[in-house]
């Protein structure tokens, strides 16, 4: 099913007519983009290609596709650019790769466990200096050193006003069970500097549903002088949903008080379109550069037998983001297939 274009209109406030928010052109995609590809990440590069990576059900490797359109990713060939070792560090679960282009090189941020302890999940960075990351040579730069050596995953990086930051999910026993969202400044693409700051922890019912206490999968969208950081919350079944932290781009992003959390989910399961557990999202831009696109995974069914992590059917989907007159994103509902 294609997403639908809707004009953006603003109400006319009493006495003064405000210019309608200019409606960006409609853009439509046919979902699903990729079956059995969770935690999707689509990067639009200056070379005319969209690069797409995601978690595979076997949790054993990093795959990469590229196409000149988002829809083209559906049929694009998929290359394994790195496979976990049979033993040692990074030999366990391989989760949620992200591909970024920083300072003229490609970087992949990924969470990995160890072969002898698949739950020893920590964030790692791989680097490729070649122009084409699909055929290029990837090397492991190493683990992102964090002051607290605990379960940590879903690292993402972003630049605000020339400063590069890392945000990730991590357990801190002093805070409690589950994972919280942290931010730190970066001194290079694989190193943080300064003390990490916790900017969100799961406390509300919509963040602790399904027996899990989860804030994870941070992703950043910048527009209108604001930094919107979405994250995923609750168990990775139909309870999974997205929350959002908002900060001014001119604020001290390393201060927890700069971030305001949404009072509830900004994107959640929607039975009328048979979409369940939407989350671990990311953002890209439409082919014409005029629309922000929400990239996320979900399932087409509500009930899962066994552990959600063993259910392979989280699939990649995309849809246009609309903007409210107050300058905040409106993610709407997960559209139908
Ligand atoms: O898909 C593997 C892990 O499951 C991701 O890293 C996390 O965001 C999700 O809970």
Q: Which domains does the chain show, CATH number per domain?
A: 3-330 (2.115.10.20)
> Sheet containing 79-83: which strands, arranged edge to edge?
38-44, 50-55, 61-67, 79-83
Q: Active-site residue 47, yes or no?
A: no
Choose which residue among 170, 171, 213, 280 to substitute to test ligand 1 binding: the one with the highest number of ligand atoms within 8 A of its C-beta.
280
Choose which residue among 110, 124, 211, 217 to substitute to test ligand 1 binding: the one with the highest number of ligand atoms within 8 A of its C-beta.
217
Q: Could you tell me the distance, in angstroms and rounded to a whole number, from the CA of residue 187 to the centre of ligand 1?
A: 26
CB 261 within 8 A of CB 200: yes
Instruction: Compute the distance between CA of residue 282 and CA of residue 43 in angstroms, rounded to an integer.
Output: 9
Atom of ligand 1 nearest to the CA of 169: 8
Percent of the chain whose pLDDT exceeds 90: 92
Percent of the chain whose pLDDT exceeds 70: 93
Residue from 39, 127, 212, 292 carrying the catalytic annotation: 39
Q: How many helices (H) and strands (E) does the chain have?
A: 0, 21
pLDDT digits (tens, 9 = 90+) for 250-298: 999 999 999 999 999 999 999 999 999 999 999 999 999 999 999 999 9
| Three-class SS state of 272 | helix
3 pLDDT band, cuts 50/70/90, is very low
CB 190 within 8 A of CB 141: yes
Q: What is the largest CA-CA distance in the chain?
A: 70
Choose which residue among 36, 37, 38 to substitute to test ligand 1 binding: the one with the highest number of ligand atoms within 8 A of its C-beta.
38
244 pLDDT band, cuts 50/70/90, is very high
User: pTM for the complete prediction?
Assistant: 0.93
The beta strand positions in 163-302, using DSSP E, are 163-170, 180-188, 191-200, 215-223, 226-233, 241-248, 260-261, 276-285, 292-299
Q: Active-site residue 216, yes or no?
A: yes
Q: Could you tell me the distance, in angstroms and rounded to a whole number, from the CA of residue 156 to the centre of ligand 1?
A: 13
Instruction: Compute the distance between CA of residue 17 and CA of residue 75 in angstroms, rounded to an integer.
Output: 47
* Closest C-alpha residue for ligand 1 atom 9: 236
Atom of ligand 1 nearest to the CA of 55: 1
Q: State the burial class of residue 58 (Cβ atoms within 10 Å of its Cβ: 0-12, 13-18, 19+).
A: exposed
Residue from 172, 216, 292, 298 carrying the catalytic annotation: 216
Q: Could you tell me the distance, in angstroms and rounded to a whole number, from the CA of residue 95 to the centre of ligand 1?
A: 6
* Closest C-alpha residue for ligand 1 atom 3: 95
pLDDT given at position 8:
38
* Closest C-alpha residue for ligand 1 atom 2: 95
pLDDT digits (tens, 9 = 90+) for 26-80: 888 999 999 999 999 999 999 999 999 999 999 999 999 999 999 999 999 999 9
Instruction: Compute the distance between CA of residue 310 and CA of residue 327 in angstroms, rounded to an integer.
Output: 39
Cα-trace Rg, the chain: 19
Pocket of ligand 1 (CB under 6 A): 38-39, 55, 95-96, 111, 153-154, 216-217, 236, 280
Residues 295-323 have a mean pLDDT of 97
Q: Could you tell me the distance, in angstroms and rounded to a whole number, from the CA of residue 96 to the centre of ligand 1?
A: 6
Q: Could you tell me the distance, in angstroms and rounded to a whole number, from the CA of residue 326 to the centre of ligand 1?
A: 32
* Closest C-alpha residue for ligand 1 atom 8: 217
Q: Could you tell me the distance, in angstroms and rounded to a whole number, from the CA of residue 23 to the centre of ligand 1?
A: 34
Which residues contact residue 286 at a Cβ distance below 8 angstroms, ignoring those fewer than 6 apart?
27, 70, 292, 293, 320
């Amino acid at each position: 099913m294609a997403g639908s274009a809707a004009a953006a209109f603003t109400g006319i406030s009493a006495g003064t007519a405000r210019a309608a928010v200019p409606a960006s052109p409609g853009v439509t995609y046919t979902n699903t983009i990729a079956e059995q590809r969770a935690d999707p990440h689509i990067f639009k590069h200056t070379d005319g290609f969209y690069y797409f990576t995601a978690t595979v059900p076997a949790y054993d490797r990093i795959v990469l596709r590229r196409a000149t359109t988002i829809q083209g990713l559906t049929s694009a060939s998929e290359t394994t650019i790195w496979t976990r070792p049979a033993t040692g560090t990074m030999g366990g679960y391989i989760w949620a790769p992200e591909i970024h282009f920083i300072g003229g090189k490609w970087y992949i941020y990924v969470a990995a466990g160890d072969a002898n302890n698949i739950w020893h999940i920590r964030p790692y960075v791989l680097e490729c200096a070649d122009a084409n990351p699909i055929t290029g040579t990837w090397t492991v730069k190493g683990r992102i050193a964090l002051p607290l050596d605990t379960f940590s995953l879903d690292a993402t990086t972003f630049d605000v006003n020339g400063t590069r930051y890392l945000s990730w999910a991590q357990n801190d026993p002093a805070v409690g069970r589950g994972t919280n969202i942290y931010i730190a400044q970066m001194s290079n693409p694989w190193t943080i500097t300064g003390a990490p700051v916790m900017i969100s922890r799961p406390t509300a019912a919509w963040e602790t549903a399904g027996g899990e206490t989860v804030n994870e999968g941070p992703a950043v969208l910048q527009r209108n002088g604001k930094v919107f950081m979405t994250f995923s919350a609750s168990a990775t079944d139909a309870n999974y949903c997205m929350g959002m932290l908002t900060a001014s781009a001119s604020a001290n992003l390393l201060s927890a008080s700069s971030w305001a959390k949404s009072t509830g989910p900004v994107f959640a399961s929607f039975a009328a379109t048979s979409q369940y557990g939407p989350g671990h999202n990311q953002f890209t831009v439409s082919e014409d550069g005029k629309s922000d696109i929400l990239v996320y995974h979900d399932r087409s069914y509500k009930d899962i037998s066994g552990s959600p992590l063993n259910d392979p059917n989280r699939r990649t989907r995309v849809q246009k983001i609309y903007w409210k007159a107050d300058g905040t994103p409106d993610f709407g509902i997960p559209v139908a297939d």
